[in-house]
Structure 1
């Protein structure tokens, strides 16, 4: 078993929660975390602005096998289709920490780290200008507030806002949970959103960095598996799950 890496600003979930990424098949979910659709909801300008829950799915099976190849007929669950599907299951992501290759954007009262490799094309970084410009202008209180919000809304953690006085990151207080991202604006389904420090490991025990927020591939076509790289948006992949954005919205409290 490899030593756990924990990203700055993240805390591990309780021991009962974990995900095993099988080498040629599904994600095996332990601990019965809640699983629900998470719809990317637009503002009045059709820009990504918040998440809203949709249909909930059971994780009572121990473990619960969730589709990783993108072609199961029982999504979000695995039905064995990975055995005959045309996909490459190879786990190609390097075991680096998220911050190892991140660019640092320096602003008045904030810094923002940006690791573009983890972009999932959720587009929360674009409203009101963009997160990069807002960080640079963070001497202005309104720009600072928006920069923190936009970086913190990034579901994959590609972007993180940091207070320059304390050098601590801003993070939503997530309880352990799983989200099936649905992007209605572009007509595609996204990755599996892990929240609240759920640890993820390979079958041989090698572990991935524990993060407060991370998105892993569901369409089977990412070039950075198990992580999502936004390919679902380019191929307009759809999971065809029935559900509507009628549930709770993302919490607003950050550290």
Structure 2
């Protein structure tokens, strides 16, 4: 398998190398209307040697770049911190499990809300609550949340080890969401320092995030749709 490498081009698109496709992934709610699962949609081919994906939100050929960033006044400056996950995260300790939470990484997918919210779940001692907290952390596309065992101090929520690219869609909020990246080998920035690679990253593709290159949930407030 080729290395999955993403480069943020200056005021331009993402250049993605090492991937053969990118797939739509729809956030599915449960009976209570809370984010619970994913459903795959259409797959779009990519060139392993490199493809350009829209970052400004205006391409008429999404998910690919069509050069619209050059005529829309897109400001693609990356302003997110380059601190690694553990430098950003706060730790909340419960009786059995602990939760590390890097709130700035939130992409507003809302998988953390089921069952009374993950922050309340880790305060419980019963196995069912801890298991649900682990599930919610694993479904968080941004990698904001991780669950740890208090006694062993080891992470018990699993991280993805298979490379994948997804176009998140959020039917509940009637909008399209982030570019979800799993197990990338590099997140480079043209003409600047690279970002520390995390097992899960959500990158902005609506162009409105104040935490570029990462998603900050702005797609929900502007009701951005990719038209796919």
Indicate the TM-score class for this superposition, using the shorter chain for normalisation.
over 0.9
RMSD over aligned Cα atoms: 1.4
Q: 1:210 to 1:15 in 2, by over 3 A?
A: farther
TM-score when scaled to structure 1? 0.85
- Structure 2: segments with no counterpart, 5+ residues: none
Q: 2:133 aligns with which of 144, 147, 164?
A: 147
Larger helix percent = 2
| Other-structure match for 2:110 | 123
Q: 1:132 aligns with which of 102, 119, 122?
A: 119
Would you say the 8 A contact 1:87–1:221 is kept in 2?
Answer: no
- Structure 1: segments with no counterpart, 5+ residues: 1-13, 242-255
User: 1:15 deviation in Å?
Assistant: 5.4
Q: Distance in 1 between matches of 2:20 and 2:202?
A: 15
The reply to whether residue 78 of structure 1 matches residue 65 of structure 2 is: yes
Number of residue pairs matched by the alignment: 227
| Other-structure match for 1:227 | 214
Would you say the 8 A contact 1:134–1:144 is kept in 2?
Answer: yes
Q: Distance in 2 between matches of 1:236 and 1:198?
A: 31
| Other-structure match for 1:11 | none
Larger strand percent = 2
| Other-structure match for 2:24 | 37
User: 1:58 deviation in Å?
Assistant: 0.4
Paired residue secondary structure (1:161): strand
Deviations 1:68-120 (A, max 9, x none): 00000000000000001133211111211122121211112111111111111
Q: 1:174 to 1:42 in 2, by over 3 A?
A: farther
* Structure 1 runs of 4+ with >3 Å offset: none
| Other-structure match for 2:172 | 185
The reply to whether residue 24 of structure 1 matches residue 11 of structure 2 is: yes
Q: Distance in 1 between matches of 2:220 and 2:88?
A: 24
Would you say the 8 A contact 1:17–1:33 is kept in 2?
Answer: no
| Other-structure match for 2:149 | 163
